[in-house]
Every structure is written in C-alpha cells, then in structure tokens.
Amino acid sequence: MTRYATKTAGVLLAATALSLLPHAAFAQQGNAPAGQEQQMRQQGQDQKAGQNAGQAGRQANAQVAGQCQERLEQSAERMREDQFWLTGWGAGYGTRPVGTPTAAPDGAARPGAETPASPTGVRQPMAGDPRGTVEGAYSPREQIRTLYFAAHILSQRGEQEGCDYVAGQLDAVYDDYTSQLTSAGVEPSEVTDWRREQLALAQPIDEVEGMRSYRIDNLTGTDVRNIDDETLGSVHDVVLDPATGSVSYVLVARGGFLGLGEEYVAVPWERLHATPGLETIVLTLSQEELEQAPTVDPAEFRNPGTREKSRGPVDEFWSGMDTR
C-alpha cells in the first residue's frame, strides 16, 4: 500500500469513528442503569413540582394581598366620607406640644375660643383650626399615612397577619383621634368652614410666610384642593432641578389616599398656591381640568436620564393652561 493510500485509509477510519460517536452515546444512554434513569425522571418531576408550588405561592400571596387591600380601601373610604377630620393636615402639621393651639392667620384669638359676632350679628371668620386644642405631638394624619403605607407594603408581600395588625393600628389611631375631637365638642361644620376660609387666603407658595424655613419633604402627603374646596389629590413627592437644587415639580397622587395614588400628575412648582402654614396645597383649576393632565411614572420622572422625555407632554399641557 502506498503512503497516499495509507493516509487516505486513516482519514476514512477517523471519519467513520466520528460518525459513529452519536450512535454510541445514544446506545450508552439507552443502556443506562435503571437507577440513573429513575433519578433523572425524579429530578424532572421535582422541578415541575417546584414550579407548581411557586405558582401556587404567588396565587396565595395575591389572594392575601387582595384581602388586606380590601380592608385598607374600606378604611380609606371611611376617612374620605369623614374628610373634615383629616383634610388639610400636612406631614409637618401638629408637631406642637399637646394643648398648644394652632395660630390664627392674623394672630388673633386662640382656636376653640368663642368666635365673637359682628355688630350686625353675622358670625366673624374663625380665628383658627377648631382641632388645635386637641392636637398631639405627632399629627394623626402623619401616623395614619405611615401605617397605611406599611400595611400596603405588607399586603403586597402577602403577609396577611402583619397587614391585619398594622391596619388595626391605623383604625385605632383614627378612632382615638375622632373620639378626642368629639369629646372636645368639635363640630364637622366648623372644620369645613375653617378650611374654606384658609383656601380663600391661599397665596403663591413661594410667598407663604415661613416657606424658606420649611422642610420641603414635609409637603409629602399634604392635601391638594382647589379654591372651590374640591379634592384634587395629595402630594406624592417633590422633584428637584439637578442644576439649581430647587424644587421644579410636585407629583400629585390622584385617585388614591394620602399620597399613595392610582395616577400621578406632575405640576410645575410655580403653579402651586398654599394656605397659611402650608397645611393645604391649592391649584387654581377644576377636577375636570386636572384630569386632562398627562400622567407620569414617578420613577421615570425623578430620573434625570429619563425625565426629559416625560417632561415634554407635561410642559406642553401646563403651557396651554391659563396662569391664574
């Protein structure tokens, strides 16, 4: 045999061996011990069982979240119906010692005192918040807001027991404070009248006394209304201008409760008015007009990298609104 023939035969043998390798592997797999085959089958079953268990767990968590969320919604609806108890309390409101009255806008009589009548017998504007005489060290609004957020998080995690406990504490805070108000003789109509008087005194937010020394993060959760005393939402967050460090927008939670909303609208800072003491943020537009505003994703709008894309529709909307 020549050298060329020998080389050719070697190549053919190698090619034949390579072509037979898959068949040999298949044959080896087919002849695998029964124990190994059973182990492989068991692993597949365990994997499938794990997937089913994970899906069942997610479904159970969703069910638990729905149950606790329903309870939270019932509590929120109750407070909406009794909104005269909570409306107007900003996060920084009520940090005075127990018994310290809310200062009147003109420094007049302390709240809770008898309001004098005018010579014509017409009741004079109320001197201050009727709730001031029973205000505690921490505002009930802020306590309720914190508990509501915590219960909401627990419900999303499927922790029914923890959510129920926190929701119970939320109801207890609300019941305790409304009992104090009732015992003090505070009438719902007095709170409503006082709030409307405060709305009439609203000024552009930068002109409100004490604004320069006010902690801007205390705006979070503050009620947002219009001058007709219609509820527009609540402050979810503030957005800073990275170039200047000043507030450029406020994110208003619309359709939710105490800053946790279903939709979010970005409002330019210069569009905001506020009542004395920054207890309520005021917008000079109707509910119907605000519903036309484009909604934003809070995370994207706060992110400098994605904010410019979101700002376009927002700025276009507000530029088309009359400045009032």
Closest CA to 266 of 247, 244, 246: 247
Give the angle subtended at the CA of 290 by the CAs of 286 and 296, to the nearest 5°: 165
Looking at residue 211, its pLDDT comes to 72
Please check whether residues 184 and 72 belong to one and the same domain. Answer: yes
Q: How far apart are CA 134 and CA 99, in angstroms?
A: 6
Question: Is 250 in contact with 242 (CB distance < 8 Å)?
Answer: no
pTM: 0.61
142 in a domain, yes or no?
A: yes
Closest CA to 219 of 208, 227, 243: 208
Q: Is the dihedral of CA 12, 13, 18, 23 positive or negative?
A: positive
30 in a domain, yes or no?
A: no
Looking at residue 124, its pLDDT comes to 45
Q: Which CATH number covers residue 250?
A: 2.30.30.240
Looking at residue 97, its pLDDT comes to 30
Please check whether residues 237 and 278 belong to one and the same domain. Answer: yes
Please check whether residues 181 and 219 belong to one and the same domain. Answer: no
- DSSP 8-class letter at 255: S
User: Could you tell me the two tokens for 187?
Assistant: 């009438």
250 in a domain, yes or no?
A: yes
Please check whether residues 159 and 231 belong to one and the same domain. Answer: no
Total number of domains constituting the chain: 2
Please check whether residues 73 and 172 belong to one and the same domain. Answer: yes
Please check whether residues 215 and 188 belong to one and the same domain. Answer: no
Please check whether residues 291 and 309 belong to one and the same domain. Answer: yes
Q: Where is the domain boundary, 146, 178, 198?
A: 198
Q: Is the dihedral of CA 125, 128, 129, 130 positive or negative?
A: negative
113 in a domain, yes or no?
A: no
Stretches where the chain sits below pLDDT 50 are: 2, 4-5, 7-9, 11-27, 88-126, 133-137
Q: Where is the domain boundary, 198, 228, 252?
A: 198
Please check whether residues 305 and 193 belong to one and the same domain. Answer: no
74 in a domain, yes or no?
A: yes
191 in a domain, yes or no?
A: yes
Looking at residue 289, its pLDDT comes to 94
Contacts of 219 (CB under 8 A, 6+ apart): 90, 91, 235, 238, 250, 278, 281
Please check whether residues 191 and 206 belong to one and the same domain. Answer: no
| Exposure of 183 in the CB half-sphere (CA atoms within 13 A) | 8
Residues 204-236 pLDDT 10s: 998 887 777 677 777 888 889 999 988 898 888
Looking at residue 55, its pLDDT comes to 58
Q: Is the dihedral of CA 218, 222, 224, 225 positive or negative?
A: negative
Q: Which domain holds residue 211?
A: 202-319
Pairing of strands 223-225, 280-282: parallel
Q: Where is the domain boundary, 198, 227, 254?
A: 198
Please check whether residues 170 and 217 belong to one and the same domain. Answer: no
111 in a domain, yes or no?
A: no
Please check whether residues 145 and 169 belong to one and the same domain. Answer: yes
Looking at residue 142, its pLDDT comes to 77
31 in a domain, yes or no?
A: no
Please check whether residues 96 and 179 belong to one and the same domain. Answer: yes
